[in-house]
Amino acid sequence: MNTSGPGPETSELTVRECWQHLRSASVGRLALISHGKPEIFPVNYLPDEGTVIFRTGPGTKLDAVLSGEPVVLEADGLNVYGTIAWSVVVKGTAEAVQPGEDAPAETPSPWQEGAKDILVRITPTEVSGRRFVIGPPTKWWPPVEPITLHGKQD
């Protein structure tokens, strides 16, 4: 049974809808390349005039941002009834907001103690998303068959 394709109640979001959903949430996952390896971090963020802002301090995230490698931010959410889910992906480039630049009027507050005094701005090259109806468990909970590797059952 192939269940990897989108269901009939899945729809692509417009760019405008993606930004509306991003504004309704504040937590996402930042994916980046650090020393040649993929890394992913939870971040709290704020959309700001077609970009996304988050705070960080010295470390892996900042080093990756300064390297110039592309980054991806992904955020998800549900409607108030928990019946419709959405997921938005922002692909782009990130850079530290330089002192004297137009800093956003509002910035996310850091969750952890410590110096998180560097603002990072993600400038999107692509924004995409989808929305889908959460199906009942009888539709998404079929028995799982064991995967076999080299003729052995795991």
Read off the pLDDT of residues 60-85 as tens digits, 9 standing for 90 and up: 999 998 899 999 999 999 988 888 99
CB atoms within 10 A of CB 144: 6
- Which DSSP category does 111 fall into? S
pLDDT for 2 beyond 60 = no
Contact partners, residue 129, CB within 8 Å, separation at least 6: 12, 13, 17, 18, 21, 86, 87, 88, 89
Write out pLDDT tens, residues 90-135: 999 999 987 766 667 677 777 777 778 889 999 999 999 999 998 7
Q: 48: helix, coil or strand?
A: strand
DSSP bridge pairs for 130: 12, 87
Contact (Cβ atoms closer than 8 angstroms) between residue 67 and residue 135: no
Q: Give the pLDDT band (50/70/90) at residue 39.
A: very high
**pLDDT tier for residue 140 given thresholds of 50, 70 and 90:** low
Determine which of 10-19, 42-51, 102-111 has the lowest per-residue pLDDT on average: 102-111
Q: Which residue has the tokens 């909970």?
A: 141
Is residue 150 pLDDT above 90, yes or no? no
Domain ranges of the chain: 10-153
User: Residue 138 above 60 pLDDT?
Assistant: yes
Selected residue with higher pLDDT from 49 and 137: 49
The pTM of this model reads 0.81
Joined together, the tokens standing for residue 54 give 């988050």
Per-residue confidence (pLDDT) for residue 7, from 0 to 100: 54
- Classify 10-153 by CATH class: mainly beta
Burial status of residue 11 (CB atoms within 10 A of its CB: 0-12, 13-18, 19 or more): middle
Q: What angle do CA 81, 85, 86 make, to 5 degrees?
A: 135
pLDDT confidence tier of residue 24, bands split at 50, 70 and 90: very high
pLDDT of residue 8: 60
- Helix residue ranges per DSSP H, the chain: 15-24, 60-67, 137-140
